[in-house]
Amino acid sequence: MDKKEEILKTALKLFVEFGFHATPTSKIAKEAGIANGTLFHYYKTKDELILALYAHTKSRLTEYMYANASKDESLELVFKSIYTNTIEWAQENKAEFYFIQQFSTSPFYGLISPEEITKQAKPHLDFLQAGIKAAVLKPLPVDMLYTLINSHIAGINQYLSSEEFSTPKQKKIINESFQLLWDMIT
């Protein structure tokens, strides 16, 4: 049993349910079935725990995003694969995805260095830049393109989470919304 993982898992659940302001470290420790001191053995401060949780969750998402993306395919297919993967991950890991958004829209996000943020975005921006260069994507500023795509995904995810859709219906929405996005940026 990996206590470090257990702490992250529990913290995620509680932060999403009650927010940062209303989940004391004591509650996390209790719910995780460990002693108070153990939590602070692994994470020096509450802030450090929150930052670690973000990094961990974000990297899990990033990993999944690029899964099965064979580079032989056309740019559209690769892009669609990333798009679909992202939304599928978000739907299968709703708390995780919600946490990423919660964190990003909180002052905690400011604790991450600009370099780290740039580094995170780099591969995505490069990918988009290549698409522009190949004259597949519209020659918009890459940052703008990137933000627009992210927002679109966040929106569709929110829509999918707002109701209970059957799996085929969900797939249909993902396909259709991808087409809307693709038409917008190409």
Partner DNA sequence: ATATTTGTAGACTGATTAGTCAATCATTGT
Partner DNA sequence: ACAATGATTGACTAATCAGTCTACAAATAT
Residues that bind a second copy (CB under 8 A): 16-22, 98, 101-102, 104-108, 140-141, 143-144, 147-148, 150-152, 154-156, 158-159, 162-163, 173, 176-177, 180-181, 183-185
**Residue nearer to a second copy on the CB measure, 67 or 140:** 140
* CA–CA gap between residue 150 and residue 60 (Å, rounded): 17
35: partner contacted, choices a second copy, DNA, none (Cβ within 5-8 A by kind)? DNA
Site of interaction with DNA (CB under 7 A):
3, 22-27, 34-38, 40-41, 44-47
**Residue nearer to DNA on the CB measure, 3 or 152:** 3
Helices assigned H by DSSP within the chain: 3-18, 25-32, 36-42, 46-65, 75-92, 94-104, 114-133, 142-162, 167-185
* 50, 103 Cβ separation under 8 angstroms: yes
Nearest CA to 12 out of 120, 102, 124, 130 is that of 102
- Closest distance to DNA from the beta carbon of 40 (Å): 4
**In 3-state terms, what secondary structure has residue 24?**
coil
- CB neighbourhood size of 54 (10 A): 21
- Closest distance to DNA from the beta carbon of 99 (Å): 16
| 111: Cβ contacts below 8 Å, ≥ 6 apart | 47, 51
**Residue nearer to a second copy on the CB measure, 17 or 73:** 17
- Closest distance to DNA from the beta carbon of 111 (Å): 13
**DSSP state for residue 163 in the 8-state scheme:** S
86: partner contacted, choices DNA, a second copy, none (Cβ within 5-8 A by kind)? none
45: partner contacted, choices DNA, a second copy, none (Cβ within 5-8 A by kind)? DNA
**Residue nearer to DNA on the CB measure, 25 or 104:** 25
